[in-house]
Amino acid sequence: MNMQALVIEKPRAACVRSVPVPPVGEQDILIEVKASGICGTDAHIFRGEYLGTYPVIPGHEFSGVVAEAGAGVTRFVVGDRAAVEPNLACGICPPCLSNRQNFCGRWSALGVTRPGGMAAYAAVPEQAAFKLEKNLSFLEGAFMEPLSCVLHGLERAPVRFGDRVLVVGAGPMGLLLTQAACLHGAGAVTQVDRNQSRLERAQENGASQVRQSLEGLPQDSFDLVVDATGVPALMARAVDFARKGGAVLWFGAPPRDGKLELPAFSIFEKGLSLVSSYTSARNSLQALALLETGKIRVSPLVSHTLPLADFARAVELIETGRDNVLKVMILPDSGGL
Ligand SMILES: [Zn+2]
Ligand SMILES: [Zn+2]
């Protein structure tokens, strides 16, 4: 049986074409994909600036309906709704055995090294699939993965009650970081983005103060500064705004060849905690719980829903920030939601 899939043949060359439906192993489920989110990682993959090999079917933030279940599958039956954790860990290497699955020595990922969710169907190991409750839409389910990364980041650099938090960048991840920081007890969140419409979203997501530039913000004053841009120059500036004894969380993915120029003495004198965060480590159940209970709201973050054929346009929207783009969702079958 064949299906329509978006295939990145090589960097900057993507097309929708007919490919075989992926084989379903004994421990796998086949998911009919209903919603598949695009993020900066997909833009990096499209440009050839990420891990993984080509050709690849991208899509690592997706949800759908179980269309087939392998003989060894115990938690799902055909017709169940599911969201997917794309990073696959072996479970038996030293990092896996130390609860650091995100550093698995035999890591692979749906939509990066294996066929992902930008297709009518995706084969997913059962261990990577999570039940999507009826009160969540497929669009909301597709946020399980990005939200799990946000939760992991804030586990690495915790917010304490009353903290003054600065979030640089108000894209979908920056907005989720603001929501999560508020939920975690932040006293006030200041959010910075050049884009005025994103700043309005920031206020709706809990930011108490918004700015179009870092200039004029008080230096040495925030308990936690979060970079949600991955732009090296902004990552470096984050340290200026953290208070003595405060923390910086570098959350956004920088370019592969990015370099930081940092004020060494200031970091020393302020006793800063400099923390980075890479993907997530089994934070999906936490993410689902917060989505199911409405503690984290993601539907307003979806700015565009597009068919598979518009993948390249979606990447361009994300790269340029045009049309007040926030989260772009691809609906592989263009309907049925
Ligand atoms: Zn992503
Ligand atoms: Zn492993």
Domain residue ranges of the chain, discontinuous segments joined by +: 2-148+280-330, 158-276
Q: What is the DSSP string of 310-321?
A: GHHHHHHHHHHT
CATH topology of domain 2-148+280-330: Quinone Oxidoreductase; Chain A, domain 1 (3.90.180)
CA of 39 to the centre of ligand 1 (A): 5
The residues whose Cβ lies within 5 A of ligand 1, an ion, are 39, 41
Q: Within 10 Å of residue 281's Cβ, how many Cβ atoms?
A: 22
Asked whether the predicted pLDDT for residue 335 surpasses 60, the reply is no
Asked whether the predicted pLDDT for residue 50 surpasses 80, the reply is no
What is the CATH architecture assignment of 158-276? 3-Layer(aba) Sandwich (3.40)
Looking at the CA of 96, name the nearest ligand. Answer: 2
pTM of the model: 0.95
CA of 272 to the centre of ligand 2 (A): 31
Instruction: State both tokens at 190.
Output: 């200041």
pLDDT of 84-108, one tens digit each?
999 999 999 999 999 999 999 999 9
Instruction: State both tokens at 105.
Output: 């020595």
Looking at the CA of 106, name the nearest ligand. Answer: 2
Same fold, 2-148+280-330 and 158-276: no
Asked whether the predicted pLDDT for residue 64 surpasses 70, the reply is yes
Confidence of residue 337 (pLDDT cuts 50, 70, 90): very low
pLDDT of 140-165, one tens digit each?
999 999 999 999 999 999 999 999 99
CA of 36 to the centre of ligand 1 (A): 10
Q: Give the Cα separation of 195 and 23 in Å (integer).
A: 44
**Any alpha helices (H) in the chain, and if so which ranges?**
40-47, 94-97, 138-141, 144-156, 172-183, 196-204, 232-241, 264-270, 284-292, 311-320
Q: What is the DSSP letter of 80?
A: -
pLDDT of 182-219, one tens digit each?
999 999 999 999 999 999 999 999 999 999 999 999 99
pLDDT of 241-263, one tens digit each?
999 999 999 999 998 889 999 99
Looking at the CA of 41, name the nearest ligand. Answer: 1
* Lowest mean pLDDT segment, chosen from 129-133, 223-227, 269-273, 333-337: 333-337
pLDDT of 8-23, one tens digit each?
999 989 999 999 999 9
Confidence of residue 334 (pLDDT cuts 50, 70, 90): very low
Strand order across the 164-168 sheet? 209-211, 188-192, 164-168, 222-227, 242-250, 273-276
